[in-house]
Structure 1
Amino acid sequence: MTLTDTTFAAFGLAEPLVHGLQKAGFTTPTPIQAQAIGPQLEGRDILGVAQTGTGKTAAFGLPILHQLLALKGRPAPRTCRALILAPTRELAVQIEQSLRAFAGGARISTLLVLGGLSRGGQVRALSRGVDIVIATPGRLTDLIADGSCVLDQTRFVVLDEADRMLDMGFIQPVRRIVAALHPRRQSALFSATMPDEVRGLAESFLKDPVTVSVTPESTTVERIDQSVELVDGPLKRARLATIVGDPDVSRVIVFARTKRGADRVAENLAKDGIPAEAIHGNKAQNARQRALGAFRDGRVRVLVATDIVARGIDVPGVSHVVNYDLPDEPESYVHRIGRTGRNGAEGIAITLCAPDEVKKLRAVEKITRTRLLPASVEGVPERKQPRRGGGNGHGVGHHGAGQGRGRGPKPAMAEAQDAPARPRGRGPRRPRRAA
């Protein structure tokens, strides 16, 4: 298949998959799918450089499903025929949901192997044998160690978001999992970036891979209207309430730096009359899925999250992302704002930057190659900055946008972080429709 082909049927996929794709509304392969599916159907390993939102799940999932449908019999007890490793529980759940949709009702068994879910239930399911296991590294290594899961008959393996696994300290568990696999297998590794450790893992994991690369990180930034407001920490609460309280903010993810901070932001929004759900690593898996489900279904339009789950959130129609705190790792900024502006649409990202966070913002500017705040601003108290936008000398906003667009909501003043917010001023704009 070439990039000029326009349907999934051109791959020669099994009929249940073609039907499942049509039912799910997938008609035209994305660039990563067009490049990766064909070689995998021919039995080749894949090294994919692509970030979330590019269609990776179908790129590796469809070839696996197609080849599993051609196999006879059932998987042996305690084994799986295919293994997909993901860094976060949310991403694993999302992958399983997508695979079920792609399968179109075909009898393919899937199992989530995650912390936070019943270990006994996972052991019982594995005892019968499973077609596809979608797992996070921690729980899977536990099941391998006690003999509940055996990988020497696993024929297809995918490492998704390998760079995120590195960031989260999972490289060693991943290496132990890879060591348990049979050498005769078909493998794929996908990563948004290629630091040396991930490249080394790829070299030891893959055999003569086909390399496919799409959508560098900078192009995601280009689709998103970014703005920064320099706001003293105690004033952030009221400014956030003004932003998310605007009706044009139809679906927004707010990022906090810590788990406790995420809970506090959600609680304060609720006190200010704006229902919100919080999602982070300390939440039980069922609670995380309920919160994400409420956000996806529109029962709440504000989700507060930490970076550990940022890349596992794939909800269509996110109009805005708000960085309540700057991330510790500048790369996380790109993944945060990438929750909006997906599938060719435009989105809006707003960052509330306290003066003591300017250094973090400069690190973000370096990796995105985008000036977000005037060069003269170096974290001095806001009252020393020139007044702009009718401010009163406190909480003055400095706006910057990618590619020099310089658009963003005007700042609003607030009394204190723990005082009820009183929305003032004009809220954020509605994102433009994609062409």
Structure 2
Amino acid sequence: MSFASLGLAPVWVRAVREQGYHAPTAIQAAAIPPILAGRDVLGLAQTGSGKTAAFGLPLLQRLRMPPGQGPRRLQALVLLPTRELVVQVGEVLREFARSLSGSPRLKISEAFGGVSINPQLMGLRGGTDVMVATPGRLLDLIEHKALDLRSVEMLVLDEADRLLDLGFAEELQRILALLPARRQSLFFSATFPKAVQGLAQGLLQEPVEVRIAPEPQRTAAIQQRAIQVDESRRTPLLRHLLQTEPSWSRVLVFVATRYATEHVSDKLWSHGIKAAALHGELSQGARTQVLAALRHGEIQVLVATDVAARGLDIPELPVVVNYDLPRSPADYIHRIGRTGRAGETGLAVSLVPASAEAHFRLIEKRQGQRVPREQIAGFAASPLSPEQAQALNSNGGIKGRRKSKKDKLREAAAAAAASAPLPGDEAQR
């Protein structure tokens, strides 16, 4: 199947070809034709399945070209839960729109919190054709009379489940009340709990449902490695791998704390490896610069916490490293799913000290896959004592000593995480 067969105009077929898209993904093949036909669409698909192009290409094709003179009229509104997603989707839409020749060009604007509102207000002088925004900042712009939603013809809610999880339900209702009743609405979500179902029912009119089941071999396209190493030797080992593995041109390293992002990235930089930290205390401007540096090849390594990396979609990311193991098996799947997207293969490497062996066995059990342990010459982990080896039981627990209250709480939390549903366990993904 080709993009041309989906009904896209030649200019947009050329646009996707220029962006390196060779064939439509499942969500693109199923969603683009009904969107082009003006139908409301309910799309249920996992993150990384190609949703942005699925709604972005037909959205751009359906826009009316702006007038040569006079203010622009807001035609399409895209709502997203995080600043990073707003930036990513805005960039994708602008890249597609660059294929349009002639003048005037489509204007695609972004709005998100965490930065001064003044530049965003200035950017909306003369209007805009497409607004990509988080709900809170969108309402701020409306209160400043910088936007009028009465002209919106297309509404997109992407990552709808996360919009609700992050507490945007009230803001969404306020925004929906400002939109015209006659419009096309596109609703995309990775999960479909009752709250999301209720939102979709109130938003969509006779929608075409597009349900893309998760690929059963979602992690099969991701090679997993588990390297045993002493905790104190993780940074030298990481540096060794970055310097000797030829395919590690762009790497996302997960750590547990803000301090670790700075510490590990500084250690790498001091040895000539271009690395940067990404954590929740960075300003939005700094976050944007760091992500742009990684995408443009100005740095090789991004060291991030789970919170800071939430919502990131880094194109052509070949490697993810778990410097610190995630707190739950579900977080492990989310982490390694950053690589191996859109049909590409990827590599996920976990550094496993002896103290983390039991936890990594829980992760293996939850994903139903055993990852062979390996050691790297010069960085071999200290061997377990006979007592420690005997104490490590088949379930990944430690026997032979009296468990403290902290031990019991840690094991209970790990067991709960192991039994928690993963993305894809429910039919909605």
Q: Does 1:351 align with 2:350?
A: yes
- Out of 60, 64, 70, the position equivalent to 1:65 is 60
TM, length-normalised to structure 2: 0.76
Q: Flag the 1:171–1:349 CA change in 2: closer, same or farther, 3 A.
A: farther
Which residue matches 1:424? none
Q: Flag the 1:356–1:174 CA change in 2: closer, same or farther, 3 A.
A: farther
C-alpha distance in 2, partners of 1:237/1:13?
49
Letter aligned with residue 310 of structure 1: A
Shift of 1:173: 3.2
Which residue matches 1:393? 383
C-alpha distance in 2, partners of 1:31/1:226?
25
Q: Flag the 1:332–1:158 CA change in 2: closer, same or farther, 3 A.
A: farther
Which residue matches 1:187? 185
- Out of 102, 108, 118, the position equivalent to 2:106 is 108
Give per-residue Cα distances to partners, 1:74-110, cap 9 Å, x unaligned.
8967x62111122222222221222122221352111
Q: Flag the 1:168–1:259 CA change in 2: closer, same or farther, 3 A.
A: farther
C-alpha distance in 2, partners of 1:90/1:72?
31
Equivalence map 1:215-364=2 (5 Å): 216=214, 218-229=216-227, 233-248=231-246, 249-310=248-309, 312-328=311-327, 330-353=329-352, 361=360, 364=363
Letter aligned with residue 258 of structure 2: K
Q: Does 1:34 align with 2:34?
A: no
C-alpha distance in 2, partners of 1:90/1:97?
11
Alpha carbons 2:83, 2:112 under 8 Å: kept: yes
Give per-residue Cα distances to partners, 1:251-297, cap 9 Å, x unaligned.
21101233333222212222344220122332233322322222222
Alpha carbons 2:252, 2:320 under 8 Å: kept: yes
Alpha carbons 1:50, 1:216 under 8 Å: kept: yes
Q: Single out whichever of 145-154 and 289-298 deviates more from structure 2.
A: 145-154
Q: Does 1:50 align with 2:45?
A: yes
Q: Flag the 1:51–1:38 CA change in 2: closer, same or farther, 3 A.
A: same
Alpha carbons 2:228, 2:380 under 8 Å: kept: no
C-alpha distance in 2, partners of 1:102/1:314?
17
C-alpha distance in 2, partners of 1:24/1:355?
44
Which residue matches 1:84? 78
Identity, % of aligned pairs? 44
Q: Flag the 1:259–1:206 CA change in 2: closer, same or farther, 3 A.
A: farther
Q: Quote the RMSD (CA, aligned, Å).
A: 3.3
Q: How many residues align?
A: 376
TM, length-normalised to structure 1: 0.75
Which residue matches 1:157? 155
Q: Flag the 1:142–1:283 CA change in 2: closer, same or farther, 3 A.
A: same
- Out of 135, 138, 163, the position equivalent to 2:136 is 138
Which residue matches 1:433? none
The secondary structure found in structure 2 opposite 1:92 is helix
Alpha carbons 2:276, 2:299 under 8 Å: kept: yes
Equivalence map 1:169-184=2 (5 Å): 169-184=167-182
Which residue matches 1:202? 200
C-alpha distance in 1, partners of 2:167/2:354?
30
Alpha carbons 2:250, 2:300 under 8 Å: kept: yes
Q: Flag the 1:139–1:332 CA change in 2: closer, same or farther, 3 A.
A: farther
Structure 2 unaligned residues grouped into runs of 5+: 374-378, 390-429
